[in-house]
């Protein structure tokens, strides 16, 4: 059973982000879903609707992705996205956020959390997190290489996109999901991807800095990882306890990088109870 969702838009410093929202819109506390590359609110629609049964749930398209604005002048960096997220939460009047993060949404959301500890309530990390000793995957190395990255983006077709996404996804991804992702993968998104990956020069160093800021907060954390993720190895899953010592860790044996797509029921079975518990704990503490 799910709740109805509302679609609307916000602007942060003139940059438009479509928003998908459910639950009590006046609540200052919300579950906030942040996609990665390439992603959008489409990633989170089922979970957003499910969370809306017991709390406020919000998902948004980040600049350069989905149906958001993709301006050349936006700062396509981790700090730039963290600032956009901060502005979005202010526009939405969310003062306490339970983050659900995937892929590059991890660095964006965790950077925001490190800068806003009073507003950061809990985190659900899906194939992302504080990535100690991270090494770029093959596609990232291509995107980070001048000229080669541009050539790759200019020649990427729907067929090659489908072929690439078969790697590391033993269950496969629904064709309509892959096609929807490609439909959003326009020139603006391709430019954003190149700029983002090239601006992120030291992910391992950034991880150490994030850990130092987040570790003392000891926030509740749930870690969900697809065992066959070819982009961010499952070996990073248990290392999240170096930052969130009491983190619950769930490894999905037959999933890849998008477990909420290739095994949505398994993800919902662990994510929804965790989020409901966090919201209920807050209510009990405030009573």
Instruction: Judge contact between 235 and 226, C-beta under 8 A.
Output: no
- Averages of pLDDT over runs of 10 residues in the chain (287 residues) are 88 98 96 97 97 97 98 97 98 98 98 98 98 94 97 94 84 92 97 97 87 96 97 97 97 96 97 96 50
Domains along the chain?
6-286 (3.40.50.1820)
pLDDT at 284: 45
pTM equals 0.95
Buried b (16+ CB within 10 A) or exposed e, 172-211: ebeeeebeebbebbeebbbbbbbbbbbebeebeebbeebb
Rounded distance between C-alpha atoms, residue 260 and residue 42, angstroms: 11
Tokens of 71: 């301006």
Quick one: pLDDT at residue 1?
65
Inter-CA distances, 261 with 45, 149, 249, 281, Å: 11, 27, 19, 29
Beta pairing, strands 57-60 & 15-22: antiparallel
Q: How far apart are CA 91 and CA 206, in angstroms?
A: 28
Q: Answer yes or no: are the C-beta atoms of 50 and 34 closer than 8 Å.
A: no
Two structure tokens written together for 241:
């306890």
Q: What is the pLDDT of residue 205?
A: 84
């Amino acid at each position: 059973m799910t709740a109805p969702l509302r679609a609307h838009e916000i602007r942060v410093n003139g940059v438009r982000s479509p928003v998908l929202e459910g639950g009590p819109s006046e609540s200052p506390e919300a579950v906030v879903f942040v996609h990665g590359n390439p992603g959008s609110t489409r990633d989170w629609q089922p979970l957003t609707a499910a969370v809306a049964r017991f709390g406020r749930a919000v998902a948004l398209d980040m600049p350069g992705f989905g149906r958001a604005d993709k301006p050349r002048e936006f700062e396509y960096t981790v700090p730039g996205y963290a600032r956009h997220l901060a502005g979005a939460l202010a526009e939405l009047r969310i003062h306490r956020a339970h983050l659900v993060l995937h892929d590059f949404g991890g660095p964006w959301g965790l950077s925001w959390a490190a800068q806003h500890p009073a507003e950061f309530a809990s985190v659900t990390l899906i194939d992302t997190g504080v990535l100690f000793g991270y090494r770029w995957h093959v596609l990232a190395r291509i995107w980070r290489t001048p000229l080669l990255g541009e050539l790759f983006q200019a020649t990427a077709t729907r067929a090659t996109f489908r072929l690439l996404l078969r790697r590391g996804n033993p269950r496969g991804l629904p064709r309509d999901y892959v096609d929807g992702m490609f439909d959003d993968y326009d020139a603006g998104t391709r430019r954003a991807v190149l700029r983002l990956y090239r601006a992120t020069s030291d992910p391992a160093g950034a991880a150490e800095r994030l850990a130092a800021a987040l570790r003392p907060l000891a926030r509740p954390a749930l870690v969900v990882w697809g065992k066959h993720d070819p982009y961010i190895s499952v070996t990073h899953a248990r290392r999240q306890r170096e930052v969130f010592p009491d983190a619950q860790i769930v490894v999905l044996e037959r999933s890849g990088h998008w477990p909420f797509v290739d095994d949505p029921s398994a993800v919902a079975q662990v994510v929804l109870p965790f989020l409901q518990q966090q919201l209920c704990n807050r209510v009990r503490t405030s009573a």
